[in-house]
Structure 1
Amino acid sequence: MKDPKAPIGVFDSGVGGLTVLSALRQALPREDFLYFGDTARVPYGGKPLPMVRRFAWEIAGFLLREGVKAIVVACNTASSAALPELAEDLSVPVFGVLEPVAEEARAYGKVGLIGTQATVGSRAYERYVRLAWARACPLFVPLVEEGLWDDPVALLVARHYLEEAPKDLEALILGCTHYPFLKGAIGKVLPGVRLLDSGEATARRVAEALRREGLLNPEGQGRVVHYVTGDPESYQDLAGRLGVRVEALRRVNLEEL
């Protein structure tokens, strides 16, 4: 039987999943979390889906060994590559980020999608919502990982990718958890278009499921332990610039996965 007091595992290729973690902490303030950023192998978006699938299984296995009661795949590319297999085969509830935001998108008429090459190429979102337009934006993740979300270059890159979007687009799915950090640049290029990110929708889905399964933590303190496969100091610095306070941080060697 799963322990309600156990932490929730959250993982992404880098810092993008911190947008999902933030929403989860707001929706579930008494829960404790383990956040895993695979910063040694970021970005995932240009890698073959079978490779990303292997990464996802490795990280999920690590989180299970750390005793999590649920896993949130806070990465669109990993969700595209590894769900629903993870959800079917693991011993704890597993949540991805595609279906919750796609459900929200169905309220709009003409919906677009931007994401990594792997996410867009997988056509995973088309299982849940009809898309009028989709575009891979491979430079967006490196921009965020380099801390350039407010730099003028972000606006230039956004214009390059988004200038061909339909003029009557109503909503745009930010199909990568890194992309919410670029909302300012994207909004300038596509004014009036509703930008949909997966954080809040996923957090609501997780909270409802834990409540239904009797897995809400009755006495958690909202603690977060961060794990990274790359340089811890670089991660801590970038997370701080994103407004995330990192109090507990551990480096994980890839051989441990």
Structure 2
Amino acid sequence: MSNERPIGFIDSGVGGLTVVKEAMRQLPNEEILYVGDTARCPYGPRPPKQVIEFTWQMTRFLLKKNIKMLVIACNTATAVALEEIKKSVDIPVIGVIQPGARAALKASKNSRVGVIGTLGTVKSDSYKNELQEKAPETYVSSLACPKFVPVVESNQFESSVAKKIVSETLKPLKLENLDTLILGCTHYPLLRPIIQNVMGQQITLIDSGAETVNDVSTLLDYFNLNNYEQTNQKARTFYTTGSPKMFKDIAHEWLQIENLDVSHINLGE
């Protein structure tokens, strides 16, 4: 059976596009609806209650569009809102933390794993708990990187400013003898070349968003939700609460798609 309903992706801004890029590669027939709450980004410093509220607003918007699965492509939102949303809706809901943790354990040889994320994600200890629940002997070093998301959202992720910020922020992690580093925010893969350069080639970087798409693929099979019809480019629709132009610029560069369909929406107030 073919199921042509779309998969919904939500994020605090443009970060979830790193997940969409992987989804387009692995699941080319699937229709994609994406909501980026750029106007209220970043979520990292916000109180959990507010993040839950914003995540619900994006979720309700997409449920009205008849999605067949929801991907919370934001680590901060996954950390605080995933369980509540999962229990309350009748479609499969996936977050980015579990797949990222699983991939890190698989990749690490010395059981010393670093996690970089927003203030909210690091404070929640979600990655640490997930890693140590699966492998109690794992040493986990977590670091909040509050300046990374604004650099990406302002489309400066290849600039000398980005290089300086990444280099200064990651200094403490270089002393930790890690062999694996989880990019615990879906914005961070846009900074991946700089992060790799700063940490060194010997460190394996885990893109939690890309790992999540493997789970999406598995669940589509499990629930028999695959779309077997050939999808055209129109089947990728993007909504932002911020500037469609800014969103389009970053999305075009990252996804390499011409004529992106980007609309402005208002959520909440």
Query: TM-score normalised by the shorter chain: which range applies?
Result: over 0.9
Q: Secondary structure at the match of 1:4?
A: coil
The aligned counterpart of 1:218 is: 228
| Correspondent of 1:186 among 178, 191, 195 | 195
The aligned counterpart of 1:26 is: 25
How far the C-alpha of 1:3 sits from its partner, in A, is 8.0
Query: 1:120·1:136 contact (CA, 8 Å) conserved in 2?
Result: yes
| Correspondent of 1:171 among 165, 175, 180 | 180
Percentage identity across paired residues of the two chains: 40
Aligned pair in 2 of structure 1 residues 255, 84: CA closer, same or farther (>3 Å)? Answer: closer
CA–CA separation in structure 2 for the residues paired with 1:22 and 1:241: 11
Q: Which runs of 5+ in 1 are unaligned?
A: none
| Correspondent of 2:241 among 219, 229, 238 | 229
Where in structure 1 do 4 or more consecutive aligned residues deviate above 4 Å?
Answer: none
CA–CA separation in structure 1 for the residues paired with 2:243 and 2:210: 29
Q: Secondary structure at the match of 1:21?
A: helix
Query: 2:2·2:228 contact (CA, 8 Å) conserved in 1?
Result: no
CA–CA separation in structure 2 for the residues paired with 1:3 and 1:221: 12
**TM-score normalized by structure 1?**
0.95
Q: Which runs of 5+ in 2 are unaligned?
A: 133-138
How far the C-alpha of 1:127 sits from its partner, in A, is 2.5
| Correspondent of 1:142 among 134, 146, 150 | 150
Query: 2:32·2:237 contact (CA, 8 Å) conserved in 1?
Result: yes
Q: How does 1:58-207 map to 2 (within 5 A)?
A: 58-107=57-106, 108=108, 109-130=111-132, 131-165=139-173, 166-191=175-200, 192-207=202-217
User: 1:171 is matched by which residue type in structure 2?
Assistant: T
How far the C-alpha of 1:199 sits from its partner, in A, is 2.6
CA–CA separation in structure 2 for the residues paired with 1:94 and 1:185: 32
Which deviations, in whole Å up to 9, do the C-alpha atoms of 1:7-63 show, x marking residues without a partner?
A: 000011111100000111111111001011111111111111110011111111110
* Number of equivalenced pairs: 255
Q: Secondary structure at the match of 1:142?
A: helix
The aligned counterpart of 1:252 is: 265
User: 1:234 is matched by which residue type in structure 2?
Assistant: M
CA–CA separation in structure 2 for the residues paired with 1:237 and 1:197: 22
User: 2:244 is matched by which residue type in structure 1?
Assistant: P
Greater helix share, structure number? 2
How far the C-alpha of 1:244 sits from its partner, in A, is 4.0
CA–CA separation in structure 2 for the residues paired with 1:220 and 1:124: 38
**TM-score normalized by structure 2?**
0.90
